[in-house]
Amino acid sequence: MENLKIVVAGHIDHGKSTLIGRLLYETDSLSQRITDEIEKLKQSGAKQEFAFITDQLKEEQANGITIDTTQVELKTSTRNYTLIDTPGHKEFLKNMITGATTAAAAIVVIDISEGLMEQTYQHIYLIAMLGIKQVIVVINKMDQKLYNRIRFWELSEQIKDYLNKLDMQITAVIPASAQYGDNITIQSRRMDWNSSPTLIKSLDLLSCQDGSAQSPLRFVVQCPFITKSKTVILGKMVSGRLFKNQHITFGPEHHTTKILSIEASGREKTSAQAPESIAVTLEDLTEIDRGQVGFNVCHPPITTDFLKAEVFSISIEALKPADKITILCGTQQSSAVIEEVTQIIDPASLEVVATGAEKIADSQVATVKIKLDSPICIDPFDNIAELGRFAIVRNGKIAGGGIIK
């Protein structure tokens, strides 16, 4: 069965955890232990029972490993879903920017009383910037506004207008109450004016296409090793297909060799395609380094030491042109400097608020020119996302991320 990854976004306290908890509860996706605890909480009259579920899941998942996302699995009759909830606004931005969270679609949760807040705009902007085009909007806490259709309609027009400007596909805008279970899996009788499907039905309306295998070959080198007789490379197919006996060129140096064998999950194969992780054996004993990119010489990436990009800052200390930064793109890395901050864009109004700025403040979006110390292989983000996005590291910390225009 297909699996679709969905990131859950929204301003703090607008009800993301409660929504996920409710969804899991109503689809019988929870362990008996958690279900029993909820029944107890319900009987005691406690109001927080559904946010409690995601807290419990965090505890179960955190057992032994450090995580900063909660990933929960959900099944419908058509598909499996992984819902990714990132506790904390900064963590959300960081996960999205570093590629730790990749998703095919987003659920954006908005509190009907508070409406569109700064974090809501920033999350949506980043989602759009990173190429997640499909969105389901849940206007939550409708119970607090007595399920009023006028307020829903106003907010729904406002969010649709913003999403349209970002060229996003709106799968549904759903008036809901995660707390009381309205329009999550059951069509609410308290909002008979509503024509949107429930959240669970909207999930099944999302499209599941992953076109990465149809793009030109990009094989990112993660771990190369040379034995006495052969060169073996572990890496990830980020786009395209690769065949046994095919010639492959590794950049940025442009060394061409032949693929003698391909293995995935311990099995030999005659071909591989994105997004598989594979091990390949090369014909000659070539020094290939981590960070290099394999491609077909007829459709090469751009090899360059200069980037024109749109970046999103997540650093409390502003990013400035003189700063020493490192750019991470795929597994490539290069030290760099921002040469010029061309424009600053406000994520809420989408307007250019400054040109030729001296710095990029926390949570600001900017178009920049970046000069790298050594060349890397890149692609425009719209062609091959994984080689068109990068993270910016300063003093060992993620300070922002960007996409290549």
Site residues (CB under 6 A) for ligand GDP?
10, 12-18, 47-48, 51, 140-141, 143-144, 177-179
Minimal distance, residue 87 CB to ligand GDP, in Å: 7
Residue count of the chain, please give it.
Answer: 405
Minimal distance, residue 68 CB to ligand GDP, in Å: 14
> Coil, helix or strand for 25?
helix
74, 14, 10, 18: which is closest to 41 by C-alpha? Answer: 18
Sheet holding 169-175, edge to edge: 70-75, 80-85, 3-9, 105-111, 134-140, 169-175
How far are the Cα atoms of 9, 246, 392 from residue 272, in angstroms, in the given order? 33, 12, 31
Comparing CB distances to ligand GDP, the nearer of 138 and 168 is 138
User: Any residues with CB less than 8 A from the CB of 224 and at least 6 apart, and which?
Assistant: 231, 232, 233, 234, 287, 288, 289, 290
Comparing CB distances to ligand GDP, the nearer of 101 and 179 is 179
User: Any residues with CB less than 8 A from the CB of 160 and at least 6 apart, and which?
Assistant: 170, 173
Minimal distance, residue 92 CB to ligand GDP, in Å: 10
Comparing CB distances to ligand GDP, the nearer of 11 and 389 is 11
Comparing CB distances to ligand GDP, the nearer of 95 and 179 is 179
d(CA 145, CA 143): 5
Comparing CB distances to ligand GDP, the nearer of 18 and 364 is 18
Minimal distance, residue 9 CB to ligand GDP, in Å: 9
Minimal distance, residue 85 CB to ligand GDP, in Å: 7
Comparing CB distances to ligand GDP, the nearer of 187 and 296 is 187
344, 367, 365, 339: which is closest to 354 by C-alpha? Answer: 344
d(CA 242, CA 276): 10
Minimal distance, residue 3 CB to ligand GDP, in Å: 23
Minimal distance, residue 191 CB to ligand GDP, in Å: 13
Comparing CB distances to ligand GDP, the nearer of 146 and 298 is 146
7, 40, 38, 5: which is closest to 22 by C-alpha? Answer: 38
